[in-house]
A and B are shown apart, each in its own frame.
Chain A
Amino acid sequence: MTLHNTTDRIEKEIVLRAPQSRVWGALANAEEFGAWFGMKLEGDFAPGGRVRGQITLPGHGRVTIEIAIERMDPESRMSYRWHPYAVQPGVDYSSEPTTLVEFQLDEVAGGTRLRVVESGFDRIPAARRAEALRMNDAGWAEQLQNIARHVGS
């Protein structure tokens, strides 16, 4: 967590014990990306292209995600735009602002450093942000009930 707590962007950094080519594959190959992210994507990632898919993480219901790829510099950088936590089934988010997700890969001793920046949150309508939180609450309520059911049986 950075000290100057901006509300517009999220920055993450992680060192992966895997070669840069392996990490790049997990990002640039839509099927692999979906496997770890928790999405079933149709089609391939290409600059300027759009790929749609469904979230497969538990507790999400049937939610369609659209990823608009901006740039792909092999084994180095990839960026795309999407609607963050556009999680309400049946809502058309296409006219709303998107956030930009940027991945940057660097070779470090013993593996690959991956930086992720998602920016543009300040342009997301306040109502949408509130809704995302509400969906999260609903998700947690559901999870708690699952646990209660599990331990109670």
Chain B
Amino acid sequence: MSVHSAGSREVSRTAPMFAALGDATRLGLVARLGSEGPLSITQLTAGSAVTRQAITKHLTVLATAGLVSDLRRGRERIWELEPEQIEAARAYLEHVSKRWDEALDRLKEFVEK
């Protein structure tokens, strides 16, 4: 029976993702890639007080967590979101939401009986 090992695989998959998002700069990068689509380092650095090197470092952390990926276009690297991973980050809220659905079903039964 491997249900427990499936559970711990899930932990090792999601924990780095949440750690990666627990930083304002990285969260900002994810937000920009989410609203503007794939962007180059130059675009991501423009208008930011953070250096190109620092942005690259943050993107590497996000890539390690599976949240973003890059592809080389000419001399630039273009960064984009990995939607599947972002979707997984929403799983938490869905989980809490489901708990409310269950609780309200019990409330319905409780007050209507």
**A-B complex is real:** yes
Residues in chain A within 8 A of chain B (CB atoms): 5, 7, 10, 12, 14, 16-18, 22-23, 26, 32, 35-38, 84-85, 114, 116, 118, 121, 125-127, 129-130, 132-134, 136-138, 140-141, 144-145, 148
A-B CB contact pairs (8 Å), 11 listed: A7-B93, A12-B104, A16-B111, A17-B112, A36-B103, A37-B106, A38-B103, A118-B100, A125-B22, A127-B15, A134-B10
Contact call B104/A85, Cβ cutoff below 8 A: no
Partner of A116, one of B22, B95, B100: B100
Contact call B108/A14, Cβ cutoff below 8 A: yes
Q: Chain B interface mostly helix, strand, loop or mixed?
A: helix
Contact call A134/B11, Cβ cutoff below 8 A: yes
Question: CB within 8 Å of A: which of B18-48?
Answer: 18-19, 21-22
Interface size on B, residues (CB 8 A): 34
Contact call A133/B95, Cβ cutoff below 8 A: yes
CA separation between A35 and B19, bound complex, in Å?
37
